[in-house]
Amino acid sequence: MAPIDIVILILIGLGAYEGYKKGLLLSIVGLIGFVLAIILGVYFMDPVSKWLASKLDELTFAFPIMAFLIVFFLTLLIVNLAGWVLKKMMDMILLGGFDSIAGAILGIVKSGFFISLFMWLSLQFDLKLPKEWRAKSEYLQYIEPLAPSVIWVLEPIFPKVKQVIETMDEIVKEFRKDAAAD
């Protein structure tokens, strides 16, 4: 078992534990919040980026990412707050062990997606795993294609996803150019 497999199993185990602890209801609210945060982050990235440009003069190459993150985290905060209120209201209804087990399954899927997303973005910045880890890994081949597959499915539904990918490519090129200059 490669070191990356150990990290993957630990992260998936933590995702399962978090999902079990939160239950299905809060996990679904969190997942909906995450998807909504991405959608709103993509749609409001340009106006917030322009607003940042009017307020700041430095780090202009990072404004699209900063704008996305601002909208993303504000949306997550609002949706999770609404989910917490909903959970408090739903505490009177006992869903039992099903809620916890279903939450654990959803936690596994979510953590697998986030690992895949991290790996995919790392590759964009030329941050690669050692070849021997990749060769010996038993789980990487299943985890790695998750995020690109989801993005590929979402791209026709949400055309701005392609624009975000192009913006990320520009940022990566700028990052590489700055790194080469140093």
Give pLDDT tens digits for 4-46: 889 999 999 999 999 998 888 888 888 889 889 988 988 888 8
| Look-up of token digits 């340009």 | 46
Q: At residue 136, does pLDDT exceed 80?
A: yes
Structural domain for 157, as ranges:
3-181
- C-alpha dihedral over 124, 126, 127, 129, to 10 degrees? 100
DSSP secondary structure letters along 47-98: HHHHHHHHH--S-GGGHHHHHHHHHHHHHHHHHHHHHHHHHHHHTTS--HHH
Per-residue pLDDT tens over the stretch 61-93: 778 888 889 999 999 999 989 888 877 776 666
The predicted pLDDT at position 92 comes to 64
Lowest-pLDDT range, 18-27, 87-96, 126-135, 159-168? 87-96
What does the alpha-carbon distance between residue 159 and residue 169 come to, in Å, rounded to a whole number? 16
| Average pLDDT across the chain, whole number | 84
Q: At residue 177, does pLDDT exceed 80?
A: no
Alpha carbon separation from 144 to 4, 27, 49, 108, 139 (Å, rounded): 12, 22, 30, 14, 9
pLDDT-derived band at 94 (thresholds 50, 70, 90) equals low
Q: How many domains does the chain have?
A: 1
Average the pLDDT over 129-154 and give the result. Answer: 84
